[in-house]
Structure 1
């Protein structure tokens, strides 16, 4: 004779278990997809801060140099002023100058550092995957002056995730 107690037992059927496993798998996949996107975006602020640090370092280094190759040391007298030498008019390093010997702003024109370096040519610690490109152009006409009255220094920092951050400053022939 059958026991009435055994007939009323409840449990999960094989179909219910398979459906539960499938739904759990789908939920896990969705969760990890969202988590992966969030994880990638969490490193972006780090790259932004490090890029800003690099951009500022390069702008400070360049901004401390003379305005032009023909500017007297200390910028006490500007080139093209009465009784002063004429400005060179050429952008870029003169006669094989290396980074350590750069003495005026436009020597940095077309500089590309990967990895970024300091003024002495040493690689900057913690920036191995970054690239820095520098462009120097005459920009006096941006403000209604003669072209050679101002130079625009533009530093482009390329982060490891290929994001580009551009930093600029103007320097006058004063």
Structure 2
């Protein structure tokens, strides 16, 4: 009596290799897509932190150069934008002095901020009281554009009222 031997034929082995190759190619493709986007959440978090640092610095300043300490009485002049003369960043004392600021790498009033290589921050300040139901000279809009490595752009805005 003859015993049948069990085994795989050459055709079965070739078909198995092809199926496994297709499956591995799909998995490797998915991993490469995920790996390519793994820095996105980190850059988004850093962009938000950087915008918060800049907004905190800007909003903590006086409304206008002519605003008295403490803000009382309220400034009643026209809305002026831009630094007074050749004022340096370390001497910015009111919100609109930051208009036109473009930092790459990002910095505060004193030094370069570490941990943000490849980031750029652009600041624009405009008279925008009408946007919030006030007269034009009673509020300023601060627009921050943070550009992360890879050319991701994040836009942030805040208003600073004259009070």
Whether these two folds match at TM > 0.5 is yes
3-state SS of paired residue (1:168): strand
Question: Aligned match of 1:154 in 143, 153, 161?
Answer: 143
TM-score (norm 2): 0.87
* Number of aligned positions between the proteins: 163
Q: Does 2:117 correspond to 1:128? A: yes
- Hey, which bits of structure 1, 4+ residues long, moved more than 6 A? none
8 A Cα contact 2:103 2:121, kept in partner = yes
Structure 2: distance between partners of 1:77 and 1:16: 89
- The whole-number CA distance in structure 2 between the counterparts of 1:64 and 1:37 is 42
Larger radius of gyration: 1
Q: TM-score, normalization: structure 1? A: 0.82
Q: For residue 105 of structure 2, what is the aligned residue in structure 1?
A: 115
Contact 2:64 2:80 in 1 (8 A): no
> Could you say what secondary structure the match of 1:135 adopts?
strand
Q: Which region of structure 1 is more displaced relative to structure 2, 102-111 or 159-168? A: 159-168
What residue in structure 1 maps to residue 5 of structure 2? 9
Residue 27 of structure 1, CA deviation: 0.8
Structure 2: 5+ residue stretches without partners: none
CA distance in 1, matches of 2:151, 2:84: 32
